[in-house]
């Protein structure tokens, strides 16, 4: 009998060949339905019931929810279908054409994280619905690399039920139970321009911004003094002054200044509360200078992700992989799946060092091991229960 799905190499080549860049810059942003429909075809051939959940007001974008077996319990295997934009000049090959070597597959999204899906399809193809006492659900989301709109929609709809979720982001096959939150904030100060020879002719926004930056550094020092988590390599919350644009000429009083910062809070810290605290402090400084102040978040923050290193999923993955549960420095859709009540662990092939890089690749050895581990996981959590 012919196998109902193509082999790993052919599946990966198909997914990589289907462009699905997501970006906050509209000129780079693309849909992901090509990837979603391809996955749905393969999973339907394996007996999965597939639902495509369109993103409201985002034509060409959606999530796939594909389920084998019945019930509210079971295991979710989740990943995102989009990639980041790429620098064609820095690639030694066509980023959309997979190049296979003895050790790895090269191509855009191979590691982060289109390669996870063929691995999942091959793994689930070993199971039939009648073998499963709890369902296996494959979720493929949209826009993880930009707004996380796909995962936010899943969390808001609250329809997907399962007990456990594995997100196959590249963790070198190490189970990851926590990461910091990510919040990008813009601070704009408006003063008044005028001739530089007489400061009273205007109100210098850059003078006020200088004081605001001092306040932010004080805030950062307080966060570092009061919050720490030894599981992380950088054990304290971070606040990075990333970008400053101000004024136009040396002989004009600076009328406008805008600063962009990145705030990364530890698991357990409330994103909204710290954003409000920061806004209050910045407003107070701005008021002293008589500037108008506007503090905004670029898009809704990725909350810190705080799972458990001793949950059944984390412990089972640790046992099957031989790697102790750990934490990472990058953000994922973990908090959103956790909001659906699932024990969520990030665990996938490939290294984050290769993600978002020219000549991105996924190691063959990871895929072979990953298949064995995920197969063992389904056996434990969905078959032998
Ligand atoms: Zn990713």
User: What digits encode the pLDDT tens for the residues 138-171?
Assistant: 999 999 998 899 999 999 999 989 999 999 999 9
Average pLDDT over residues 118-131: 96
> Is the pLDDT score of 2 beyond 70?
no
Average pLDDT over residues 170-183: 96
82 catalytic? Reply is: yes
DSSP secondary structure code for residue 134 in this structure = S
Task: Please give the distance, rounded to the nearest whole angstrom, from the Cα atom of residue 312 to the centre of ligand 1.
Answer: 24
CB 345 within 8 A of CB 175: yes
Among residues 14, 82, 143, 333, which one is catalytic?
Answer: 82
> Is the pLDDT score of 1 beyond 70?
no
First to last CA, the chain: 31
Residues 30-83 pLDDT 10s: 999 999 999 999 999 999 999 999 999 999 999 999 999 998 889 999 999 999
69-102 burial code (b ≥16 CB/10 A, e <16):
beeebbbbbbbbbbbbbbeeeebeeebbebbbee
Q: Where are the domains of the chain?
A: 8-179+305-383, 183-297
Tokens of 383: 């078959």
Angle, CA of 114, 28 and 299, to the nearest 5°: 85
* Number of DSSP helices (H) and strands (E) in the chain, helices first: 9, 16
pLDDT the model gives residue 72: 82
Residues 245-288 pLDDT 10s: 999 999 999 999 999 999 999 999 999 999 999 999 999 999 99
Average pLDDT over residues 228-253: 95
Task: Please give the distance, rounded to the nearest whole angstrom, from the Cα atom of residue 167 to the centre of ligand 1.
Answer: 9
The CATH code for residues 183-297 is: 3.30.70.360
In whole angstroms, how far apart are CA 300 and each of 71, 280, 303? 32, 19, 9
> Is the pLDDT score of 307 beyond 50?
yes
Among residues 144, 343, 360, 363, which one is catalytic?
Answer: 144
Give strand pairing partners of 139.
65, 78
Q: Provide CB contacts within 8 A for 76, sequence distance 6+.
A: 137, 138, 139, 160, 162, 164, 165, 166, 337, 342
pLDDT the model gives residue 211: 98
**Confidence category of residue 239, pLDDT binned at 50, 70, 90:** very high
144 catalytic? Reply is: yes
Indicate the average pLDDT of the chain: 96
Distance CA 58, CA 94 (A): 28
pLDDT the model gives residue 71: 86
Distance CA 111, CA 172 (A): 10
pLDDT the model gives residue 132: 96
> Is the pLDDT score of 299 beyond 80?
no
DSSP secondary structure code for residue 34 in this structure = H
Q: Which CATH architecture has domain 8-179+305-383?
A: 3-Layer(aba) Sandwich (3.40)
**C-alpha dihedral sign at 323, 328, 330, 333:** positive
Task: Please give the distance, rounded to the nearest whole angstrom, from the Cα atom of residue 87 to the centre of ligand 1.
Answer: 18
Task: Please give the distance, rounded to the nearest whole angstrom, from the Cα atom of residue 145 to the centre of ligand 1.
Answer: 7
Distance CA 30, CA 292 (A): 37
Task: Please give the distance, rounded to the nearest whole angstrom, from the Cα atom of residue 284 to the centre of ligand 1.
Answer: 38
């Amino acid at each position: 009998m012919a196998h109902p799905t193509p082999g790993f190499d052919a599946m990966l080549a198909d997914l990589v060949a289907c462009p699905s860049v997501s970006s906050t810059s509209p000129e780079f942003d693309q849909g992901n339905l090509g990837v979603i429909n391809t996955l749905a075809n393969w999973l339907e051939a394996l007996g999965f019931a597939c639902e495509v959940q369109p993103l409201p007001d985002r034509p060409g974008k959606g999530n796939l929810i594909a389920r084998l077996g019945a019930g509210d319990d079971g295991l979710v295997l989740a990943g995102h279908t989009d990639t980041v934009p790429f620098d064609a000049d820095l690639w030694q090959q066509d980023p959309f054409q997979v190049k296979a070597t003895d050790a790895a597959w090269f191509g855009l999204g191979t590691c982060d994280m289109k390669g996870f899906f063929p691995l999942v399809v091959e793994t689930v193809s070993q199971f039939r619905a009648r073998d499963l006492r709890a369902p296996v659900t494959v979720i493929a989301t949209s826009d993880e690399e930009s707004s996380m709109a796909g995962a936010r929609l899943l969390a808001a709809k609250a329809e997907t039920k399962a007990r456990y979720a594995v997100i196959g982001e590249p963790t070198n096959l190490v189970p990851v139970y926590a990461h910091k939150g990510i919040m990008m904030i813009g601070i704009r100060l408006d003063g008044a321009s005028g001739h530089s020879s007489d400061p009273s002719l205007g109100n210098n926004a850059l003078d006020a911004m200088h004081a605001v930056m001092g306040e932010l550094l004080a805030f950062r020092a307080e966060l570092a003094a009061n919050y720490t988590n030894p599981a992380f390599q950088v054990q304290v919350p971070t606040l990075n002054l990333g970008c400053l644009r101000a004024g136009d000429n040396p002989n004009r009083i600076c009328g406008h200044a805008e600063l962009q910062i990145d705030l990364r809070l530890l698991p357990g810290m409330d994103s909204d509360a710290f954003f409000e605290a920061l806004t209050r402090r910045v407003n107070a400084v701005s008021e002293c200078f008589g500037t108008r102040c506007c503090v905004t978040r670029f898009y809704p923050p990725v909350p810190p992700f705080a799972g458990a290193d001793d949950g059944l999923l984390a412990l089972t993955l640790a046992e099957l992989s031989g790697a102790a549960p750990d934490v990472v420095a990058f953000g994922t859709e973990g908090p959103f799946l956790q909001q659906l009540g699932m024990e969520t662990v990030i665990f996938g092939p490939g290294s984050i060092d290769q993600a978002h890089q020219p000549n991105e690749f996924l190691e063959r050895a990871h895929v072979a091991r990953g298949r064995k581990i995920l197969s063992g996981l389904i056996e434990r959590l969905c078959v032998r229960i």
